[in-house]
A and B are shown apart, each in its own frame.
Chain A
Amino acid sequence: MPVDNLSLTRRGEPHQQVVKQAIHWLLRLRNNSANARLRQQCEVWRAEHHEHELAWQRVQSLQAELSSNLRAVPGAQVAFNTLENSAQGLGRRQALKLLSGALLIGSVAWLGKDAVGWQQWTADFATATGERRGFQLPDGTRLELNTASAVDLDYNAQQRLIKLTRGEVIVTCGGIDEGSPFDRPLRVQSRQGVYEGVGARFILRQDDDCTRLSVTGGMVLIHSPLAAGGTPTQVQAGQSYLIDHHQAKLAPPLDMDAGAWVDGLIVTRNMRLGDFLDEVGRYRHGYLTCAADIADLRLSGVFRLENTDRLLAILPQTLPVQLRYRTRWWVTLERQA
């Protein structure tokens, strides 16, 4: 909340706490409009102090103005859909082009940069929700970025460091000859550790509170902050690890193919519907949820990601569920009536 405490103690201005109380009263009354006693209590509160009354008047007129502006937009859900969709679009553009300080997105223009050679350079890559892209780096490394993902590159004299700041990436190490200018360790950093690829192909996924590493070729060393000084964990092709702030542990068999997205697919084996929808939700805007009583239904199959609406539409054919589109960005699954 962009609140500066100093600004709230200006003379004559209702204190932050008073404004919050006024808002609280307003919302309570709106949800219990018929409650005469509540109304009376609110009046008592307003009369207690002139600051209370001022805050109340302002909050009420703000609320009236907002709702009359919104009601002036004709058509059911037009205002909501437009504001939601545009806010998401704007957020995406800011993240991509402005706030990340990205030089260029997925462009090869920087291949022409020569001043410092390849000893040192930085670049940022990012994908929007629903987008997947591959990037070939000049050292032969290939990156595949999944939906809503971002990496920052920081190549310096000690290492080639790739920072995964959100989402998921597949890293394929290029073959580096001894003595080549790229003959430095290739490391990928997530919020929970640093992963060094040795002739490897691996998938790194940043979840909310852990990182998932799946190695599909070669070997990866986990340098987690905890193992500082200790020997790094070696992860071989075919293994998956979950790394949180406390430990790196072998992951139980996954209920989906970790890297199928690179082919535009979700491949599941007996996956919970709730988990499946969370996964599909990564590729689309808005809300996608299901009722609690169907979250534990299981599904197996191969699903195409290119059009998630179409993907969802086939679910009722295999499961006793029905789709409910509240808006285009608001989809819930319920038990079939």
Chain B
Amino acid sequence: MTMRLIIICDVRAVASMSSPEFAVQALYSSHHGWLNTWLRARLGNAADAADLAQDTFVRLLHRTERLELKAPRAFLRTIARGLVIDHWRREEIERAYLETIAHLPESETPSVEARALVLELLESIARMLEGLKPKVRQAFLLAQCEGLTHKHIAEQMGLSLRSVERYVADALYHCYVLRYET
């Protein structure tokens, strides 16, 4: 809560100083309410919506190009949509992780600190694999996580060896582009 208030002050304070910030302020005052409603419809709760609405404007403040917008709402929606997906990804990973380790015997259950680290690792991997087709992702993960041979993966997934090889290579290439070319 405090964080959110500080950010609001931040937006306003910075916004009064020079023209790009002024543009953000103008956007803020005309569209903040709308953005909040838009986010709320997607997130289903007001607190997360308010946080992400603020984050959206904070992102704008970090942008260097001039904000001359013909379609400000479409633009805000694009940024907000990315934030919503980040937010959901985090939630989904946490949920899936807790569900997965719930099946482990108590002796193997990781500590709270270990969990936080693992969640962060998984999130970075998930972000990297995003946009891959499910089969490509699954084949790649089977190769990476479990060290299965391509032949074994092909049998498991009911695919040809050639498809598995292509999928794994496609996935690695996807990661390469993200890492080195964007």
Contact = CB atoms under 8 A, between A and B. Distances in A.
B84 interface: yes
A76 B165 CA distance: 23
Contact of A77 (B134, B146, B149, B172): B146
Interface residues of A, number: 53
B160 to A, nearest CB: 13
Contacts of A76: 146
Interface stretch (A42-50, A90-98, A136-144, A163-171): A90-98
Given A80-B142, A82-B96, A75 B172 contact: no
B175 A27 contact: no
Given A62-B175, A62-B176, A86-B126, A73 B121 contact: yes
Contacts of A27: 150, 165, 168-169, 172
A162 interface: no
Contacts of A332: 156
Interface string A229-267: 000000000000000000000000000000000000000
A93 B124 CA distance: 19
Contacts of A113: none
Given A20-B173, A70-B145, A75 B108 contact: yes
Q: Does more than half of chain B's interface fall in helix, strand or loop, or is it mixed?
A: helix
B158 A289 contact: yes
Contact of B100 (A2, A3, A78, A93): A78
A31 B142 CA distance: 14
Contacts of A58: 176, 179-180
A79 B173 contact: no
A67 B146 contact: no
A87 B177 contact: no
B156 A87 contact: no
Interface residues of B, number: 57
Interface in B81-131: 81, 84-85, 88-89, 92-93, 95-97, 99-101, 104, 108, 110, 114, 117-118, 121-122, 124-126, 128-131
A70 B172 CA distance: 14
B87 to A, nearest CB: 10
A249 B110 CA distance: 58
Contacts of B150: 27, 31
12 contacts: A7-B182, A13-B181, A58-B180, A62-B175, A69-B125, A73-B122, A78-B100, A82-B122, A86-B122, A87-B130, A89-B95, A98-B81
Interface of B: 41-42, 81, 84-85, 88-89, 92-93, 95-97, 99-101, 104, 108, 110, 114, 117-118, 121-122, 124-126, 128-131, 134, 137-138, 141-142, 144-146, 149-150, 156-158, 165, 168-170, 172-177, 179-182
